[in-house]
Amino acid sequence: MLAIYGPGGFGRELIPIGTQSGRECCFISDDKAQVGGVVYDIPVRSLESLRTSSGLDQITAVIAVADAKTRRKLADKLAEVGIAEGQAVAANAIVGPGVDLGGGAILCHFTTITASARIGRHFHANIYSYVAHDTDIGDFVTLAPRVCINGNTIVEDDVYIGTGAVLKQGTPDKPLRIGKGAIIGMGAVVTKDVAPGTVVIGNPARPLERN
């Protein structure tokens, strides 16, 4: 069984992936008002009910929450009750040769990881996103729809990359680097390294000025 932690909008988008090939699927929610209900015929269960059910070793989970800090906390909760990290990979997603795909990864429809890339834990690639060759992605990284990450790029942990953003290709001796916890704004074109914790916007991308 694949358990999807979070029955919100993104979680509902994962139903066709979670149930493909006849796989059994459920949602996990911490909201008592949701537990025991159904979302589009998918049952919503509590983490505790899964912990005490038989066949715990046959349940894996992904986390349908975009915020990296929240995703980390939920990953810790899953580990505490003994639920393993699963993967939700759409049938039409492309995972090329030499790709190391981490636990908890979600690859939505029409996504591509081309070749020789390392993808960390609990990665999200929303629809039509791609990661090109020789790219290193950290843990708890989120790609919104239509993100383009070109080759020889390093994306550190907890980075969020907004819809339609494009990351210029680096080189083997000088990869483009996106620092830990950085946020790349929607539609940004990133041509230079981004420092940890920085928010960048625009074309070319520049740090967001705050008044």
* Catalytic residue set: 133
- Residues ≥6 apart with Cβ < 8 Å to 160: 66, 68, 141, 142, 144, 182, 183, 184
Cα diameter, the chain: 55
Q: How far apart are CA 126 and CA 66, in angstroms?
A: 10
Residue 114 near residue 98, CB atoms below 8 Å: no
